[in-house]
């Protein structure tokens, strides 16, 4: 069957597993043959893995997007008038000799999981563009690998502010403001945030979370105030009444 000989890539938590055939991918997951192909056609996550069907070598060699990535990589590092030169070539970032030609770069891309929704990323942001220091990642993951990111340590691990905010379910701006006010990371993470209600701004003061009951009390108070203002008797200045 055709599905058994089609190459597939399985991705989970940023780790990619390449297989020469669908059968190999199914064996890896311990499922029946063609299950991976079926999940791919249905566009769903299977056993916790994203399923990627790589382009053929012929497609990649003629892929305009991949060629543009290769060209831009060289321009950033070698063309002094490029708007990003100071962040790349100006810092000593260069492209390895192996990738001076497009075909070797395309072969590396093909064998390392390149797809149209991924971008090239340097693992060591101060290192050069070379096979051992590059990978294909999503734009979101690449943004978390920028050297300008603020790194914080929580629970013995390093995170960018974006990663930590997503991990704990907090707005990134709230977390950033707390740290800028001098809070420790543990305090900024663990002190609850007031839920926002009508007419209220989100609080960073660390007050106890509002409950549904207190929110309802607040809404009723606002409605009563609006009602009183609407029906408050007006003063008639013509007759002099107070």
- Over the stretch 67-125, which tens digit does the pLDDT of each residue have? 999 999 999 999 999 988 988 899 899 999 999 999 899 988 888 888 888 888 888 88
Domain boundaries, the chain: 2-53, 59-138, 151-190
Question: Taking CA 28 as the corner, what is the angle to CA 59 and CA 142, rounded to the nearest 5 degrees?
Answer: 55
Q: Which of 196, 189, 184, 187 lies closest to 166 in space, CA to CA?
A: 189
Higher pLDDT: 218 or 53? It is: 53
The pLDDT score that the predictor gives to residue 212 is 43
Q: Which of 95, 94, 73 lies closest to 82 in space, CA to CA?
A: 73
Question: Residues 188, 179: contact at Cβ < 8 Å?
Answer: yes
- What average pLDDT does this structure show over 148-160? 69
- What average pLDDT does this structure show over 189-205? 59
Residue 224 has pLDDT above 80, yes or no: no
The pLDDT score that the predictor gives to residue 77 is 94
Instruction: Read off the tokens for 142.
Output: 């690449």
């Amino acid at each position: 069957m055709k599905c058994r000989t089609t190459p597939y890539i399985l991705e989970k938590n940023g780790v990619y597993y390449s297989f020469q055939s669908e059968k190999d991918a199914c064996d890896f997951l311990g499922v029946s043959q063609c299950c991976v192909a079926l999940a791919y056609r249905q566009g769903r996550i299977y056993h916790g893995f994203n399923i990627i069907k790589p382009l053929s070598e012929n497609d990649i060699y003629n892929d305009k997007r991949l060629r543009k990535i290769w060209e831009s990589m060289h321009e950033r590092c070698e063309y002094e008038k490029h708007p990003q030169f100071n962040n790349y070539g100006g810092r000593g970032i260069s492209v390895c000799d192996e990738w001076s030609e497009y075909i070797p770069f395309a072969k590396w891309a093909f064998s390392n999981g390149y797809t149209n929704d991924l971008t090239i990323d340097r693992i060591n942001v101060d290192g050069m563009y070379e096979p051992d220091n590059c990978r294909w990642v999503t734009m979101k993951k690449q943004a978390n690998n920028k050297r300008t990111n603020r790194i914080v340590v929580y629970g013995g691990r390093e995170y960018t502010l974006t990663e930590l905010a997503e991990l704990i379910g907090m707005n990134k701006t709230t977390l950033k403001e707390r740290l800028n006010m001098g809070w420790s990371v543990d305090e900024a993470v663990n002190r609850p945030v007031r839920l926002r209600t009508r007419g209220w701004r989100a609080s960073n003061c660390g007050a106890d979370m509002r409950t549904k009951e207190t929110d309802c009390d607040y809404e009723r108070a606002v409605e009563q105030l609006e009602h009183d203002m609407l029906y408050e008797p007006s003063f008639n200045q013509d007759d002099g009444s107070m």
